[in-house]
Amino acid sequence: MTKIVEGLEISEETYVINRALLVKYANASGDQNPIHQDEAFAKSVGLPDVIAHGMLTMALAGKFLSDISGPENVLEFSAKFIKPVVVPANTDVSLIISGKVGEISDGRAKIELLAMCNEVKVLGVAKGVIKLQ
């Protein structure tokens, strides 16, 4: 693996989100809110369509972080949910995550993450702290 140094840009990964994945995430996480599965319900509460769980988007960004350090070395992880990821029926939506290494001290590195969907930033100030090996 590339050595983690301050300023290192970590190349983007694409994660596919579709309705089937939302059902799988709902079952794995216990979050069965119908706005993530039921199109008629989502529209009835003013959403454009079914939207992904913010925590699914964050879990995928967490996978990106885990791939840098190993999941056992993630010490902190936080994000704001600034835009919904809309998931129309029969559509694969691409979530593109990239990262940059921030400050390194005491064997820990800050990682800034960028999560984009249809050229819109969906997570705000997404960042993690990893333990360096």
Residues that bind another protein (CB under 8 A): 15, 21, 24-25, 27-31, 45, 54-56, 58-60, 62-63, 65-66, 70-81, 128
What is the nearest approach in angstroms of another protein to the Cβ of residue 66? Answer: 6
What is each CA distance from 29 to 61, 88, 116, in whole angstroms? Answer: 16, 21, 23
What is the nearest approach in angstroms of another protein to the Cβ of residue 109? Answer: 15
**Closest to another protein by CB, 7 or 48:** 48
What gap in Å lies between CA 60 and CA 63, rounded to an integer? 5
What is the nearest approach in angstroms of another protein to the Cβ of residue 85? Answer: 13
DSSP state of 49: S
**Closest to another protein by CB, 2 or 14:** 14
> What dihedral do alpha carbons 43, 48, 54, 59 form, nearest 10°?
110
